[in-house]
């Protein structure tokens, strides 16, 4: 592949970048409790700089304590932060990367425990997502915040940053002032388009005044809120040249706010790659300054094509930097088979940070967030290691162990490696998940690891061969409830349906509305099968608050799938399923019944391992059926511990 445009230089004001690849700001939660820069954050960002990225934009950095979006967000509201920030810029500059500090104020998109006070906003309208009370900002407070942006930019300049990026996207404070959805003021900062734009323009002017004419100032915008009552692309096309006149040198074109349906600001695999490039092109035309395009772009070839077409001048690869910090250098050298691709699952990054309130990581890259620990040392005494099961946990464990110098064999009872990812990659939009399996196998065999398929390990095998260490990654087997007719010939497990072991017939009834059930229904519908989903809980276990959950429910609804909650099954016959829902007794036609009712860990070999005193680790679903993230991370840790 000829990536000539991506790897060409570009100048923004006084800053010349060696290439057009950008790592955008992505919150990690790695800052210290006092909002100073931590060794963990420095190591994480420096590892990305090693990968050859032209510009790295730090995660959100609060211009005032009240603007923090989460408790350990790094800060720049005082001169005392400068020394810590200098350590960060020095670390990134060692690897030849330019870096920008992202200036941030969350506005109403925060909570009191993080901000230390009632969240502030243009109007006292709570966040749709967080639903926290907030306070309307006075004229005096507006002036304080504008001044804080300017002073924060000056501190960034003193700390050695090559640029600053003003965060005016995703529903944070600056977006809140721009939007009629969140700004209901009737004074000089609200009402008309002109007045709603005033706060942002004054922030830009304050920043430019403090840093001087030659220091690069970037602004990140949401080109379109894509929400009822919000602003649209036309508004931002009119505002863009005014932002340039106020002092902006480049525009980073994102889309949506956190209450936008489907969370397009951090789009899942349900959204087409590069879906936002048309908006970047429009803002580029309207503004006349370099534009950074972003929005589910992970492949360098896609980026190069977009740059060559004139969609943007630079491309931001967000989550791809988390999954594989070396992907750009690999692409430059033509080593595309070695790239570990991001699938936009959101489990380890934004959902872990935003929903679980834990520091972020990556489902497929267990080293993300642990860069400070350094690479694992080679094993002092290589051992003969067996990994039983070639699902995600087993492959991750085997790869982790073989890289440390152990002699590793994987034993898989089925015909192909992949485990639960084989059926999980069959529903619509999820085919990309198999890319990780293919990558893991290539990496494992490159290190002389051996995979034996259709080879079931038994107690007898263990007694005969006695490996020196075993990682038990035997997964879980499906379970069902004691429903009359559940063992009938037209009743099938969802996993068998997804891997093609079952002839499909319509109509189908899917029992269980968790991820497996809903995704199997999605799969069946894509193949022309009429589907009814029965769930005994009063709500679907798959929430619409995640991006994938939203799009999954939306596809099912648009396809006419019927979801029945509070459904207690009473019997399955050859042609119907009977159930009660509240006081009502119902039957639904069913040419086939698909069960997705959960799973139970398979650990039958554990007793043999104990008898033989073979050191062993249990990982993934064999430990407890959970998500892909836990499987891959547990496998990785087991391989490190041998």
Does residue 1 carry a pLDDT above 80? Answer: no
Average confidence score pLDDT of the chain? 96
Active site residues: 172
Least confident window among 210-214, 568-572, 579-583: 579-583
pLDDT confidence bin for 583, thresholds 50/70/90? confident
* Contacts (Cβ under 8 Å, ≥6 apart) of 613: none
Q: What is the per-residue pLDDT across 287-304, written as a single tens digit (0 to 9) for each?
A: 999 999 999 999 999 999
Task: Give a three-class secondary structure readout of 517-542.
Answer: HHHHHHHHHHCCCCEEEECCCCCCCC
Which regions of 389-512 does DSSP assign to beta strands (E)? 407-412, 450-453, 469-472, 476-478, 491-493, 508-511
Strand order across the beta sheet in which 576-581 lies: 567-572, 576-581, 584-589
For 471-501, b/e burial (b = at least 16 CB within 10 A) is bbbbbbebeeeebebbeeebbbbbbebbeee
Per-residue pLDDT, 354: 87
Cβ density class 14-38: b for 16+ within 10 Å, e for less: ebebbbbbbbbbbbbbbbeeebbbb
Distance CA 86, CA 248 (A): 24
Beta bridge partners of 168: 221
SS3 call for 384? strand
Q: What is the pLDDT of residue 561?
A: 97
Q: Read off the pLDDT of each residue in 266-270 and give the average, rounded to a whole number.
A: 95
Q: What is the percent of the chain with per-residue pLDDT over 70, rounded to a whole number?
A: 100
pLDDT band at residue 178 using 50, 70 and 90 as cut-offs: very high
Residue 582, pLDDT > 90, answer no
Global pTM value: 0.95
Sketch out the chain's domains with CATH numbers. Answer: 10-372 (3.20.20.70), 376-478+600-641 (3.40.50.720), 491-597 (3.50.50.60)
- Burial code (b: 16+ CB inside 10 Å, e: under 16) for 86-100 equals ebbbebbbebebbbb
Q: How far apart are CA 55 and CA 512, in angstroms?
A: 46
What is the rounded CA–CA span in Å between residue 87 and residue 208?
Answer: 24
Residue 468, Cβ density class (10 Å: 0-12 exposed, 13-18 middle, ≥19 buried): middle
Residue 284 has pLDDT above 90, yes or no: yes
Cα separation, 153 vs 207, in Å, equals 6
2-7: long-range pairs with CB below 8 Å, 24+? 2/304, 3/300, 3/301, 3/303, 3/304, 3/331, 3/332, 4/304, 5/304, 5/307, 5/308, 6/300, 6/303, 6/304, 6/307, 6/315, 7/332
pLDDT in tens, 306-315: 999 999 999 9
Query: Beta partners for 616?
Result: 470
Work out the angle between the directed axes of helices 139-158 and 82-93 (0-180°, nearest 10). Answer: 50
Percentage of the residues of the chain whose pLDDT score is greater than 90: 97
| pLDDT band, very low/low/confident/very high, at 505 (cuts 50, 70, 90) | very high
pLDDT, tens digit (0-9, with 9 covering 90-100), for 516-540: 999 999 999 999 999 999 999 999 9
Q: What is the pLDDT of residues 443-492, one digit of tens each?
A: 999 999 999 999 999 999 999 999 999 999 999 999 999 999 999 999 99
Residue 134 CA to residue 387 CA, distance in Å, equals: 53
Contact 556, 524 (CB under 8 A): no
End-to-end CA distance of the chain: 40
Extract the runs of DSSP E, i.e. beta strands, from 426-507.
Answer: 450-453, 469-472, 476-478, 491-493
pLDDT the model gives residue 293 = 98
Parallel/antiparallel/unpaired status of strands 476-478 and 599-601: antiparallel
Q: How far apart are CA 346 and CA 421, in angstroms?
A: 17
- pLDDT score at 30: 97
pLDDT score of 364 more than 90: yes
Per-residue pLDDT tens digits for 584-621: 899 999 999 999 999 999 999 999 999 999 999 999 99
* Average pLDDT rounded to a whole number, residues 70-86: 97
pLDDT confidence band for 376 (50 / 70 / 90): confident
Extract the tokens encoding 107.
């506005």
């Amino acid at each position: 592949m000829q990536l000539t445009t991506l790897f060409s230089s570009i100048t923004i004001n006084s800053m010349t970048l060696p290439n057009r690849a950008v790592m955008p700001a992505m919150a990690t939660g790695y800052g210290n409790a006092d909002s100073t820069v931590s060794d963990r954050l420095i190591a994480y960002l420096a590892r990305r700089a090693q990968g050859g990225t032209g510009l790295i934009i730090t995660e959100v950095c609060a211009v005032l304590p009240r603007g923090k979006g989460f408790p350990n967000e790094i800060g720049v509201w005082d001169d005392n932060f400068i020394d810590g920030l200098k350590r960060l810029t020095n670390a990134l500059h060692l690897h030849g990367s330019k870096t920008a500090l992202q200036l941030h104020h969350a506005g109403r998109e925060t909570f009191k425990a993080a901000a230390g006070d009632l969240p502030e906003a243009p109007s006292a309208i709570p966040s749709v997502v967080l639903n926290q009370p907030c306070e309307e900002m006075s004229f005096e407070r507006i002036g304080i915040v504008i001044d804080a942006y300017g002073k924060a930019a000056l501190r960034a300049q003193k700390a050695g940053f090559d640029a600053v990026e003003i965060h005016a996207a995703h529903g944070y404070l600056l977006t809140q002032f721009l939007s009629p959805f969140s700004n209901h003021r009737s004074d000089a900062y609200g009402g008309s388009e002109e007045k709603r734009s005033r706060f942002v323009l004054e922030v830009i002017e304050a920043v430019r005044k403090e840093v001087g004419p030659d220091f690069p100032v970037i602004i990140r915008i949401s080109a379109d809120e894509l929400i009822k009552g919000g602003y649209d692309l036309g508004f931002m096309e009119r505002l863009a040249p005014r932002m340039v006149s106020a002092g902006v040198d480049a525009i980073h074109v994102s889309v949506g706010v956190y209450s936008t349906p489907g969370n397009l600001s951090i789009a899942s695999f349900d959204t087409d790659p590069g879906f936002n490039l048309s908006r970047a092109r429009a803002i580029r035309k309207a503004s006349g300054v370099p534009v950074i395009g972003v929005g589910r772009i992970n492949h360098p070839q896609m980026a190069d094509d977009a740059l060559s077409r004139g969609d943007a001048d630079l491309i931001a690869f967000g989550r791809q930097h988390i999954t594989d910090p070396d992907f750009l250098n690999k692409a430059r050298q033509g080593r595309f088979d070695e790239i570990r691709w991001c699938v936009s699952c959101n489990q380890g990054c934004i959902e872990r940070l935003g929903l679980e309130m834990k520091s972020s990581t990556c489902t497929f890259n267990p080293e993300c967030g642990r860069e400070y620990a350094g690479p694992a040392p080679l094993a002092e005494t290589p051992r003969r290691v067996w990994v039983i099961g070639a699902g995600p946990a087993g492959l991750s464990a085997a790869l982790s162990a073989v890289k440390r110098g152990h002699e590793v064999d994987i034993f898989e009872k089925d015909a192909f490696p992949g485990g639960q990812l084989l059926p999980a990659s069959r529903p619509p939009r999820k085919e990309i998940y198999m890319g990780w399996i293919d990558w893991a196998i290539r990496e494992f065999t490159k290190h002389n690891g051996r995979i034996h398929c259709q080879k079931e390990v038994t107690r007898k095998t263990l007694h005969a061969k006695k490996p020196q260490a075993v990682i038990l990654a035997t997964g879980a087997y499906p379970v069902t409830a004691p429903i009359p007719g559940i063992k009938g010939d037209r009743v099938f497990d969802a996993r068998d349906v997804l891997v093609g072991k079952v002839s499909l017939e319509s109509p189908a009834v899917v029992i269980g509305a968790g991820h497996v059930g809903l995704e199997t229904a999605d799969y069946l519908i894509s193949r022309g099968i009429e589907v009814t989903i029965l769930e005994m809980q009063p709500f679907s276990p798959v929430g619409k608050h995640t991006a994938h959950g939203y799009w999954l429910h939306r596809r099912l609804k648009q396809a006419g799938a019927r979801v029945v909650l509070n459904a207690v099954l009473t019997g399955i016959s050859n042609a119907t399923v009977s159930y009660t829902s509240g006081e009502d007794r119902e039957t639904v036609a069913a040419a086939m019944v698909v069960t997705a009712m959960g799973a139970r860990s398979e650990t039958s070999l554990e007793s043999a391992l104990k008898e033989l005193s073979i050191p062993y680790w249990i990982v993934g679903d064999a430990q407890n059926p959970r998500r892909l993230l836990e499987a891959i991370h547990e496998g990785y840790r087991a391989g490190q511990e041998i």
